Structure formats: structure tokens, C-alpha cells
Amino acid sequence: MGEPVIDVHTHVVPKGWPELSAICGGSGWPWLRVDSERDAMIMVGEVEFRPIGAECWDAGVRLSDMDADGVDVQVISPTPVFFSYDRPADQAVKVARIFNDLTLEIAAAAADRLIPFCQVPLQDPDAACAELDRCLAAGHRGVEIGNHVGDRDLDDEGIVTFLQHCAGVGAPVFVHPWDMPTSPRIDRWMARWLTGMPAETHLSVLALILGGVFDRVPRSLRLCFAHGGGSFPFWLGRADNAWRRRGDVVRGRSAHPPSHYVDRFFVDTVVFAPAALRLLIDTMGEDQVVLGSDYPYPLGERPVGQVVRKAPFLTLEQRVKLLSANARRFLGLPPREV
């Protein structure tokens, strides 16, 4: 394929950030326990959160993986554990600045192949807008946000203010599930990731729809949801049915049934099964699905893009859309000449 393959869902973890308790105050901050040249452990306080490798911080390792997987361009986004939305806003501002600046250093190693997205202190809309503006001026190309801030969903007035700002400055927004509910029932088998994450994303899409956000924000707002939009596409018929038959409680503020809004946001291809990808195309439309991988994490797809490349039901034109052209629209890049 002549078009550059663009992966919109990857994560970085920079190395060498300062001790956050010393800069921000408070305790229980994430820190990196470096175990070797290539291995480290993200720690949260004294708890081991996730083992990571050099591909998280070393652009050279990342680029050679991209070459092996046939990926030309990656959007590199924060790892949600650093969002700090539950902290006082002034502390979250400091954390965002540190990680955003370090991410620019990773992207600088290959400015034509690594597209940096920033994080923002979303608990404070004014501070979030200011940090986004600072980051865009410094070289970031978009923003990744968590799908909620405590009990505030994406239809919260402050978050909508931030989304309006993103539309105004033309910044694409990648929405990632995080901060999943915990309970003894769900703290097993990675169930927080396997069931909690898709449910979180499902809820966020519904909040934008039923909260009437899509009726209020301009069409120029470019949103993309991780993991194929979570459970949303599979259960769109259920949501439409509820909107029609239990409109007394379900309609909320939306002027139309949920299926009316599927052209207002993108979803990525991190769904693993060809049948699930087919459902995404059928439900969301072939113009709304963009290549993602969750690289370099173990719940991500490797080799990147294999489901899209192998799915026998895709036409060549559809494959180009999924691997490249739709991401160009999400990112606001001009379409390539055919």
C-alpha cells in the first residue's frame, strides 16, 4: 500500500521524570523502578502497576518495531495512570507539563513518524485548555483524555467546555478508558481491563449522545474512542431500542436516537477478531474506523494491524481507509493525492 500506515493508539512512558512528591506534594505518585537497561516497573506508591520495556521510552526500539510491523506513523499518547485527575488541579498541571515535555523529546527522534498527543488536567477545564494550548504551541498534535473525571462523564459542563476548545483550536481528541470501578468480583483475571474498559468506553459514548453533547458541539470536533468504541457498537441496537421505547428515561437531551450520531466520532481497530472488525464497519461505517494497536502493551495487537490486513471481506479501498485515510481525517492532515 502506498499510503502511510498510521496507528492512532499507542502509548509512551518517558524515563527520567523527577520524583513527583518532591515537586507536587502529596504521596502515592507513580514512579519508575528501573530494573535493567531494557526493563522497568511502573510503581504506584509501593504497588507494582505494570512491567514495561524500553519500547516505552526508547524511540529507536519503537521505530524498529514499527518497521517490523509495517507501521509508518504512530500517534504516541500518555499512559493513563499518569493523568492525575484525582489530584488537586495545580498538582495535575505540574505532572502534565513534565510528561508532555518528556514526550516531545521522544517524538523529536523521528518527527515525521511519531505524532505526540498530550495529557491535560481535565478536572480543571481552564487549566486543561491552557495546557493544551501550551502543548500545541510546543509541538503536540492532539490530546488524549481519560473517559471520565471521577463521577463526571463526558457530558459534564466543564469537560464539554474543554471539548469545545479542542474543536476551536482543531485538536483531535483520543478518548481512553481508565479508572475502572473495582470490586472483589472485578479484581480478578484482569477483568477491570477485559470487562471494565469496554464498559467505560460504552458509557462515555452514551454520555456524549444522550447528554446531548453532539447536538451542542460543532461537527468540527474530531473524537476517537479506543478499543473499537468498547461495547458501544455491539449494543447500539439496544440503545436505539431503549431510546424509542423507554424515551421517558433514556432520551435525555439527545435529539435523535444513538445510531444517528455514529458519524460524529472514530473508533480504533483494537478488537482482535475479524468478525468484530466487520461489526465495526457495519455499525460505524467504513469512514469512522482507524487503525489502533495499544502498542506496546500486552493487551494490544501484535503484529500491529494484522486483523485489518488479513480480513478477507475488506476491499482494497476499505483497507486504505482503515490503515491510513481515516486517520488522516482524524488528525486533520490533508488527504493524499491518489
How many C-beta atoms lie closer than 10 Å to residue 195's C-beta?
A: 15
Nearer to Co ion among residue 125 and residue 292 (C-beta): 292
Selected range binding Co ion among 144-152, 188-196, 279-287, 289-297, rule: CB under 5 A: 289-297
Residue 337 CB, nearest distance to Co ion (Å)? 32
Residue 9 CB, nearest distance to Co ion (Å)? 6
294 binds Co ion (CB under 5 A): yes
Nearer to Co ion among residue 116 and residue 211 (C-beta): 116
- Left, alpha or beta for 16 (phi > 0: left; psi -120 to 50: alpha)? left
Could you tell me the three cell numbers for 129? Answer: 485548555
Q: Which residue is nearest to Co ion (CB)?
A: 294
Which amino acid, residue 38?
R
Nearer to Co ion among residue 179 and residue 294 (C-beta): 294
User: Nearest to residue 20, comparing CAs of 76, 107, 78, 83?
Assistant: 83
| CA dist 103 → 18, 107, 223 (Å) | 14, 6, 21
Nearer to Co ion among residue 89 and residue 272 (C-beta): 272
Selected range binding Co ion among 59-67, 164-172, 286-294, 321-329, rule: CB under 5 A: 286-294
List strand residue ranges (DSSP E) for the chain, in order: 6-11, 30-34, 39-44, 47-53, 73-77, 114-118, 142-146, 173-176, 223-225, 266-268, 289-290
Please give the residues from 90 up to 109 whose contact with Co ion meets the rule CB under 5 A.
none
How far is the C-alpha of 116 from the C-alpha of 18, rounded, in Å? 21
Nearer to Co ion among residue 42 and residue 250 (C-beta): 42
Residue 52 CB, nearest distance to Co ion (Å)? 13
Nearer to Co ion among residue 208 and residue 226 (C-beta): 226
Nearer to Co ion among residue 153 and residue 294 (C-beta): 294
Residue 294 CB, nearest distance to Co ion (Å)? 4
Task: Assign 298 to helix, strand or coil.
Answer: coil
Binding mask 211-250 for Co ion (x = CB under 5 A): ----------------------------------------
State the number of binding residues for Co ion (CB under 5 A). 1
Task: Assign 54 to helix, strand or coil.
Answer: helix
Selected range binding Co ion among 48-56, 109-117, 294-302, 312-320, rule: CB under 5 A: 294-302
- Left, alpha or beta for 207 (phi > 0: left; psi -120 to 50: alpha)? alpha
How far is the C-alpha of 27 from the C-alpha of 149, rounded, in Å? 20
Could you tell me the three cell numbers for 163? Answer: 471539548
Selected range binding Co ion among 25-33, 92-100, 282-290, 293-301, rule: CB under 5 A: 293-301
Binding site for Co ion (CB under 5 A): 294
